[in-house]
Amino acid sequence: MALLEDGGAMIKKIIRFGNVVHSRGALQEAFERQLTKLGHLELTHIDMKRYFLNSKQLIRGIRELITLPKSGIYVMKMGPARPIRDYAQEFLRSKGYHKEAFKVIGIRSGEKLSEELHFNFETFIESYKFIERFQGPIPCPDRTEMLKYIKNHLSF
């Protein structure tokens, strides 16, 4: 998201968030397909954790982000990461299963046990009601520098 400030400087915002529950392509869809096709759920690792939020939380965070006049890396407040195993157990109970009906298939190449929404090299700046702002170590170029770079390095 980039907007022009007074004087032509650009506001650059990055928003990071977890899995939006009940959205297209969400975990529930994958679980539904697996349960229908396989009769059980497949988990890559018993200790895998992910962040989850619902669409209302996402909308509130985006609305807040839009009102903020500062560039930065913004992260949704979602509480702690949840074990996918717990999520799978809740899903199975909602479908009438009383026993664990999942199989651990192993981590895929490049997959991590836990998500990182901000990194050690990013500095916490401030907290708002629904999001937090971080700053990376490398400042973003201003509008003039960016246009100069585009002119010198890209051809259309």
- Do residues 21 and 54 lie in contact, with contact meaning Cβ atoms separated by under 8 Å? yes
Are the C-beta atoms of residues 121 and 137 closer than 8 Å to each other? yes
pLDDT in tens, 119-149: 888 899 999 999 999 987 655 556 677 677 6
H-only helix segments in 39-142: 55-67, 84-94
CATH number at residue 110: 3.40.50.720
CA–CA separation, 135 and 123 (whole Å)? 5
The one-character DSSP state at 80 is: S
pLDDT tens for 55-80 read 999 999 999 999 998 888 999 999 99
Segments forming the whole domain that contains residue 129? 2-153
What do you get for the CA distance between the two ends of the chain, in Å?
Answer: 22
Structural domain count, the chain? 1
- When the pLDDT of each residue in the chain is averaged and rounded to a whole number, the result is 85
Q: Dump pLDDT digits (tens) for 14-28.
A: 899 999 988 888 888
